[in-house]
Structure 1
Amino acid sequence: MLRKRRLDEPGKVEVTFELPPTFWADEIYVVGEFNDWNRQANPMDHLRDGSWSLTLVLNADCEYEFRYLIDGRDWMGDPEADTHRPNEHGADNSVVSTD
């Protein structure tokens, strides 16, 4: 799930990426255009209730493709993303829009 909040700072939007506690994993990363697809730049926090969360500040009025990387080997999209786009690996990237 994605939650978005426009910030007082012009041109910036706070985006929170969330996954429910049903994901059994040791680590989950959010990987996408906003971090040049760096597999280790943005780890999600594993919260006490078992859910996963990461908040990033992104540029407003943009679209960013992303995916979740689970335990360094399994890629997953976000079914609740704003939209999806096919990638070169035969899967779909999730898209978050900050407009």
Structure 2
Amino acid sequence: MAITKKYLKSKPICKVTFELDGLGDADSIVAVGNFNNWDTKATPLKKYKNGKFKVTVDLEKDNSYEFKYLVDGNYINDEQADEYRWNDFAASDNSVINL
């Protein structure tokens, strides 16, 4: 798992790339979080021939975003998250990215 942040000089935006490796047997992975209102269809990761899944999203900088990955119907956190935050609704931690 990897998170790459690329800040734009011309806009208050950060291009965030979510990449997962080693889940080549997965059929679908979606990034869900408060950046897309936890929509389970809005931000799918593309599966590449090398087995990696990847998606890049534009997020406003100077914010924190909670998220998880939905892997074939199961939620998982990112090991490379900046921090983790407890969520009472889900009764589990969410991954957090700070920009």
TM-score (norm 2): 0.92
Whole-Å separation in 1 of the counterparts to 2:91 and 2:25: 25
The CA deviation string for residues 37-90 of structure 1, in whole angstroms up to 9 with x for no partner, is 10100000101110111100100111000000011x200000110100011222
For residue 91 of structure 1, report the CA deviation from its aligned partner.
1.2
Output the amino acid matched with 2:97.
Answer: V
Aligned to 2:30: 29
RMSD: 1.1
Whole-Å separation in 1 of the counterparts to 2:21 and 2:64: 24
Output the amino acid matched with 1:51.
Answer: K
Aligned to 1:81: 81
Aligned residues: 97
Aligned to 1:93: 94
Whole-Å separation in 1 of the counterparts to 2:44 and 2:94: 18
Structure 2: any 5+ residue segments left out of the alignment? none
Secondary structure of the corresponding residue to residue 36 of structure 1: coil
TM-score (norm 1): 0.92
Output the amino acid matched with 1:86.
Answer: W
Whole-Å separation in 1 of the counterparts to 2:86 and 2:25: 26
For residue 23 of structure 1, report the CA deviation from its aligned partner.
4.7
Whole-Å separation in 1 of the counterparts to 2:97 and 2:10: 19
Output the amino acid matched with 1:66.
Answer: F
Aligned to 1:47: 48
Whole-Å separation in 1 of the counterparts to 2:47 and 2:30: 11
Runs in 1 of length 4+ with deviation above 4 angstroms? none
Aligned to 1:70: 71
